[in-house]
Structure 1
Amino acid sequence: MQVSRKELVAVLSPFNPWWRGEPIADLPAWKRAAWSELDRWVASPPVHRAILVSGARQVGKTTLLLQQVDALLKQGVPSANILYATFDHPLLKLAGIEAVLEAWREREPRADGPEYLFLDEAQFIRDWGTWVKHQIDFNKQRRIVFTGSAMPLVQTEPESGVGRWHTIRLTTLSFYEYLQIKQLQLPLLPPLASLVELFEWPQPRFYRARELAAPYVGHFHEYLIRGGFPQTAQVESITQAQRLLREDIIDKVLKRDMTALFGVRRVLDLEHTFLYLCMHDGGLLNISDLSGNLEVKRPTAQHFIELLEACHLIYRLPPFGYGKDVLKGRFKIYLADAAIAPAVLLKGKGVIDDPALLGVATETAVFKHLFARYYARNVRFTYWHGKRGHEVDLVAEIGQQLIPFEVKYRAQHTGARELKGLIELCAQKDIARGYVVTKSLDDFGPMTELPPASAAVTRIMRIPAPLLCYWMGASELRQPDAEDA
């Protein structure tokens, strides 16, 4: 079936109001932390590559693209040289990329200077890998930005993508971004460029930070149950926010995207698998237990897990180590956002009153913030399980450094007895510093009661979760350096 150019122009025109000299409607003033990286690659790319903006549904990928279009127009780029097209639209998907480009050029003759192509949901472009490869190799005047589910895009034709695009990973909103979007008037917290700076703070500064952070705690708990999606963050009712998260985001991924992208037919089994993971957020994946409970074969269950990760609904962390340690170990599963499990399991605000559920949600949020902060440096995240049965929730391998994080989100003060795994790992690997994520604002500062053997080589800092997530989100606005953690 052929789609006429007239029909294509009729579809493209509303998506490209700048062709008519009109502004982009309803463009928010706030920008995601990833904006600066995207702007840098579009304005003056260090190498000639396409840019892939990847992330879950409704995290703001399209808004990010349109904000970049707006910036280009304000810089004087000719409107005729900018195209936005979403291949989620059935007619554009049917026509194909070349027909879309021809319709664009029939409507808007090219002006001098580079062309800018912003292609949404690019996974629906036929033979997209070959097309992108050809464009990057032979058309130096085109700068291409495309969105989609990064993992299926990359895994479909990995060889085509080598050196052809730069990936910008867009997670759900950080706690810092959430507060900016809500436009809340809160006391300004002291700036922190890197966590390591805390070890140089004088004691009075910790006291002052605790006082300033008091109004943040309630908003942090609401953030955990409302969700880090721009749409849910701005809905007044938490109940409605959770419904939107459940119906507009999760259900569409499971029931529509999985079928369209991967040809999944056993949608009910896939939903049950995801429900199982929501009930075990932050826990170790027992694939035998999962397949047994859901009555699906082990390879099928494993395949579902990989698809959920590909669509950015979950993260998988291997155990610390290499070779057999990883092959024999079990993956740790985190959901893409702390609010997903409460929304799917219909927990509502009950999470705040349940210490166990609140602890799980906090650990998920902490991991998401650390991942978002450091992914660009190819940081490897694992968890650690020692021979004595002690564990450490998260270990970040940053270059030659190991930075462990233990989450203890509970009312009690955190002492050395509660950190046997962290202390054991630090002593075993001669780790210079580690972090404990706490609940109480009073549980903030360097630990002084460490065992003599570990105190000689290790410093441990206790940081309340709202402060850690705030600072990780705020510092994401700049490029990480070697001493960030």
Structure 2
Amino acid sequence: MVVNEGQVAEAVRRDSPWWRSPHWAATDRDMLEAAGSQIDYYPLSLANIRSGGLYMLYGPRRVGKTVLVKRSIQALLAQGVNPLQIIRVTVDGWQANRLGTLYEYVVRVLTSSVGDGPRYWFIDEVTACRGQWWSVVKNLRDNTHFGDDCVVLTGSTNQDLDEAIKAFAGRRGPVDDPDRCLLPMNFGEFCHSLSIDLPSVAGLRADELMSARARETWMALAPYTDDLVAAWQTYLEVGGYPKAVGEWRRTNQVAVPTWQALWDVVRGDAITSGMNEVILGAVINGIGVRLSSPTAISGFAEEVGVARETLMKRIDALASAFLVWRNPRADNSGNADLRKQGKLYFLDPLVAKLPQLVNGRSQVDVTRLNEQQLGVALLQWNERVRPGSVRSGDWITHYRNASSEVDFVGKCADLGTRMTPIEGKYVSDSWRQEALGLRNSAIGTGILATRDILDATEGEAVWAVPSSFLAFALSFSGK
């Protein structure tokens, strides 16, 4: 897409309606939709942004990044910031070098009355620019007042983010947390959004799930077991995309246009890269069938009918788009061994259900979704304690030998300490029998994540804790 100065002006005026009216939010489609969702959900991924900072906000499409940006703009306006100091523009499909045109024309013409005063830039979908957008941003930070401004770049793909963040070294301003992530709601946010009456508990770290403090937490949650189990079942059905959660609250179902829009996101990049919709459907379905099992890529590729390299590229693209995540096998030291077969999971239950919804495939087994979302809870926790961990690093792994397997082991991304091992068995009885694999493994200790059984006897090598308890306690900061 070629973007000239006239098109820049049109795009910025369209995307910055507060320039024209202080009541812009009352007619803004995104803000009206968020208000009409009837859910209490205000993520803090852009909290405390400041002048001079260069922030990267990333996460999947349809997860609410645009609404979050607009709410942040509302907050700045409420603080008395001049509307012309706040610039938002969506640059999806732009040539990267046109970001320079954007900066120059906005400063020289559209907001010239501000002079050299600080500006707040919200540049949406910068990762969808064509070309090395990070080089243009780096040059602007080095050679213009853009380096003194607050800049928020948003993106829906992990591709090239490592290269970008490397280029931004020393240019991100006086901030400690420039990487920000917005993922689908965690379980705690989901419960809060649906106004489920649950006790306030202190967040637990992933390395203290069998501690004395954890035991106190499990006992505090025990009277609410029925409520938590019911909420967890709903979470496995609905997922954490805000629009889906809002529709479930109002109508007890996820509307067809919502999951269809999510499917459009999944297939858009695939079709652009030359993969047809039938094969893409087979890939998504194949991942769903393999949830909780090590994935042999060669056999998977043969099943789908594509070359191994083609399948790997498609899985890489899904992972880059924050739709799929990898759980590699751990070596004897607990580190990821990328030479061995790993597991693949989706980042949200609604994505896992797309083959069923779109093509009428078999429903994903709830025990596999339970395991997936336990892993996602750990993934989200790691991202909170160490921003950026969701896009780089193999912190969550699984253990496997000839006779046993443990679903989730690994290390905490902030301190490098060992996580409490978790084996997901969505059972309501015979938990001790199910725990034998964990108990008799080389690890020997950990938590069996059940459906509704709690047994946290002090001194026991294996505890039984409901999956909903674990996900709920991990939903809070845990720092």
Q: TM-score w.r.t. structure 1 length? A: 0.81
Task: Tell me what 1:393 maps to.
Answer: 407
**Counterpart pick for 1:60 among 64, 77, 86:** 64
Report the Cα offset of residue 119 of structure 1: 0.7
* 2:152 counterpart of 1:149: no
Q: Which amino acid aligns with 2:233?
A: H
Q: Which amino acid aligns with 1:370?
A: L
Q: 1:53 to 1:264 in 2, by over 3 A?
A: farther
Q: 1:81 to 1:420 in 2, by over 3 A?
A: same
Report the Cα offset of residue 384 of structure 1: 0.3
Counterparts of 1:471 and 1:318, CA distance in 2? 24
**Counterpart pick for 2:423 among 399, 406, 427:** 406
* 2:252 counterpart of 1:250: no
CA RMSD of aligned residues (A): 3.4
Counterparts of 2:2 and 2:411, CA distance in 1? 52
Point out the more displaced range, 198-207 or 58-67: 198-207
Counterparts of 1:217 and 1:271, CA distance in 2? 31
SS of 1:382's equivalent? strand
Q: Which amino acid aligns with 1:39?
A: A
Instruction: Tell me if the contact between 2:426 and 2:450 (Cα under 8 Å) persists in the aligned partners.
Output: yes
Counterparts of 1:18 and 1:465, CA distance in 2? 45
Report the Cα offset of residue 277 of structure 1: 0.9
Task: Tell me what 1:444 maps to.
Answer: 454
Q: 1:133 to 1:406 in 2, by over 3 A?
A: same
Q: Which amino acid aligns with 2:67?
A: T
Q: 1:225 to 1:373 in 2, by over 3 A?
A: same
Which structure 2 residues correspond to residues 85-104 of structure 1 after superposition, within 5 A? Answer: 85-88=89-92, 96-104=98-106
Instruction: Tell me if the contact between 2:259 and 2:350 (Cα under 8 Å) persists in the aligned partners.
Output: no
Instruction: Tell me if the contact between 1:172 and 1:229 (Cα under 8 Å) persists in the aligned partners.
Output: yes
Report the Cα offset of residue 84 of structure 1: 0.7
Counterparts of 1:292 and 1:273, CA distance in 2? 11
Which structure 2 residues correspond to residues 54-453 of structure 1 after superposition, within 5 A? Answer: 54-88=58-92, 96-105=98-107, 106-111=109-114, 113-125=117-129, 126-138=131-143, 139=145, 140-154=147-161, 159-162=166-169, 164=171, 166-182=178-194, 184=195, 186-194=196-204, 196=208, 199-200=211-212, 209-235=221-247, 236-237=250-251, 239-241=253-255, 243-254=256-267, 256-258=268-270, 263-321=273-331, 326-346=337-357, 357-375=365-383, 376-377=385-386, 378=389, 380-386=395-401, 388-398=402-412, 399-403=415-419, 404-415=421-432, 418-422=435-439, 424-427=441-444, 434-440=446-452, 443-447=453-457, 450=460
Q: Which amino acid aligns with 1:344?
A: P
Point out the more displaced range, 157-166 or 335-344: 157-166
Q: Which amino acid aligns with 2:235?
A: Y
Q: Which amino acid aligns with 1:249?
A: L
Counterparts of 1:285 and 1:203, CA distance in 2? 35
Q: 1:205 to 1:74 in 2, by over 3 A?
A: closer
SS of 2:89's equivalent? strand
Counterparts of 1:365 and 1:203, CA distance in 2? 22
Q: Which amino acid aligns with 1:332?
A: K
Q: Which amino acid aligns with 1:287?
A: I
Instruction: Tell me if the contact between 1:122 and 1:128 (Cα under 8 Å) persists in the aligned partners.
Output: yes
Query: Could you give the per-residue CA deviations for residues 415-453 of structure 1, whole angstroms, max 9, x where no partner exists?
Result: 2662433553334xxxxx73332111xx22414584xxx
Counterparts of 2:315 and 2:163, CA distance in 1? 17
Counterparts of 2:424 and 2:286, CA distance in 1? 23
Question: How many equivalent residue pairs?
Answer: 444
Counterparts of 2:187 and 2:181, CA distance in 1? 17
Counterparts of 2:2 and 2:308, CA distance in 1? 43
Report the Cα offset of residue 346 of structure 1: 3.4
Q: 1:55 to 1:286 in 2, by over 3 A?
A: same
Instruction: Tell me if the contact between 2:406 and 2:438 (Cα under 8 Å) persists in the aligned partners.
Output: yes
SS of 1:411's equivalent? coil
Report the Cα offset of residue 206 of structure 1: 5.1
Counterparts of 2:336 and 2:47, CA distance in 1? 41
Counterparts of 1:308 and 1:170, CA distance in 2? 17
SS of 2:102's equivalent? helix
Report the Cα offset of residue 188 of structure 1: 3.0
Q: 1:333 to 1:59 in 2, by over 3 A?
A: same
Q: Which amino acid aligns with 1:108?
A: T
Q: Which amino acid aligns with 2:301?
A: S
SS of 1:52's equivalent? strand
Counterparts of 1:250 and 1:413, CA distance in 2? 39
Task: Tell me what 1:430 maps to.
Answer: none
Counterparts of 2:228 and 2:154, CA distance in 1? 33
Q: 1:15 to 1:400 in 2, by over 3 A?
A: closer
Q: 1:104 to 1:18 in 2, by over 3 A?
A: same
Q: 1:204 to 1:330 in 2, by over 3 A?
A: closer
Instruction: Tell me if the contact between 1:245 and 1:340 (Cα under 8 Å) persists in the aligned partners.
Output: no
From the two aligned structures, give the one with the greater helix fraction: 1
Counterparts of 1:76 and 1:200, CA distance in 2? 48
Task: Tell me what 2:175 maps to.
Answer: none
Counterparts of 1:425 and 1:136, CA distance in 2? 51
Q: 1:160 to 1:94 in 2, by over 3 A?
A: closer
SS of 1:426's equivalent? coil
Q: 1:286 to 1:19 in 2, by over 3 A?
A: same
Instruction: Tell me if the contact between 2:398 and 2:406 (Cα under 8 Å) persists in the aligned partners.
Output: yes
Report the Cα offset of residue 466 of structure 1: 1.8
Gaps of 5+ in 1: 428-432
Counterparts of 1:77 and 1:409, CA distance in 2? 51
Instruction: Tell me if the contact between 2:3 and 2:98 (Cα under 8 Å) persists in the aligned partners.
Output: no
Report the Cα offset of residue 177 of structure 1: 1.5
